[in-house]
Amino acid sequence: MNIHIFQNQQELNEAGAGIITSLVQMQPKAVLGLATGGTPVGIYEELVKAYEKGRVSFKAVTTFNLDEYVGLPADHPESYHTYMKQHLFDHIDLPASQAHIPNGYAADPDAECQRYDQELEAAKQIDLQILGLGHNGHIGFNEPDDSLISSTHPVELKPETREANARFFSSIDEVPTHALTMGVGTILKAKTILLIVRGADKAEIVHRALTGPITTEIPATLLQTHPHLVVLLDAEAGRLF
Ligand code: GLP
């Protein structure tokens, strides 16, 4: 495991975007696993800048998002489809047909998860999986539990997860109760995982995730088993290292 701690957000953003850009420059057909939430926004901004400066093209890249809320149409302002368009897809040359996000509005969520896994299987392996971290140690929307699921599946969100995400909605009642998420098996199968964590409120959980006992009650502890884990922390999140 490779842990880097940055004194300011801009350095962290540039480092994260630099890792992604270098991979795509070397491997134009790279398969990227993408995350949403507040954490990767600055990194996506830097990626867009690199694209605008002509340093990188995404036209042969394939992407898979980790998760999507159940019950929000793709064009809902808080869907992860909308998030990805706003922060990345509308600003780069990634063809829409190569960008994959689970459809949280599908009539049959189980069938949708199977369809997503088939797409993942066809792509063989994610080269670089970007990950954020939930306050309870979730990755994607794999919530703490006494067992974890390997493949894409529907999940009921924990109250603390809905509370954390309520800041994006006008009230907590509007935060969906369920999501579809890539499973931990798929996440751990990625060639390289790039875990990004910011803020004092995540210092304790990221320390436990990377140094504590491995337990499904903190899904991110499973990342300790991955052979190529790169961790980018801001100074506040990295306070306990
Ligand atoms: C969200 C997402 C995760 C994300 C995490 C942290 O609920 N499903 O993919 O990494 O929780 O979010 P944030 O970056 O906003 O703190």
Q: Is 38 in the pocket of ligand 1 (CB under 6 A)?
A: yes
Give the Å distance between the CA of 68 and the centre of ligand 1: 11
Which residues are catalytically annotated? 67, 136, 138, 143
Q: Please give the CATH number for the structural domain made up of 2-126+134-189.
A: 3.40.50.1360
pLDDT at 28: 98
Could you identify the residue written with the tokens 């996440």? 187
Give the Å distance between the CA of 126 and the centre of ligand 1: 19
Probe target for ligand 1 pocket from 9, 13, 39, with the most ligand atoms within 8 Å of CB: 39
Q: Is 65 in the pocket of ligand 1 (CB under 6 A)?
A: no
pLDDT at 190: 98
What is the DSSP code string of 5-31?
EESSHHHHHHHHHHHHHHHHHH-TT-E
**70-115 per-position pLDDT tens digit:** 999 999 999 999 999 999 999 999 999 999 999 999 999 999 999 9
ipTM above 0.90, yes or no: yes
Indicate left, alpha or beta for 140 from its phi (over 0: left) and psi (-120 to 50: alpha).
left
Ranges of each domain in the chain: 2-126+134-189
Outline where 88-182 has alpha helix (H): 109-122, 159-165
Q: Is 194 in the pocket of ligand 1 (CB under 6 A)?
A: no
**112-152 per-position pLDDT tens digit:** 999 999 999 999 999 999 999 999 999 999 999 999 999 99
Confidence tier at 181 by pLDDT (50, 70, 90): very high
Q: What is each CA distance from 118 to 100, 127, 211, in whole angstroms?
A: 11, 17, 34
Give the Å distance between the CA of 197 and the centre of ligand 1: 10
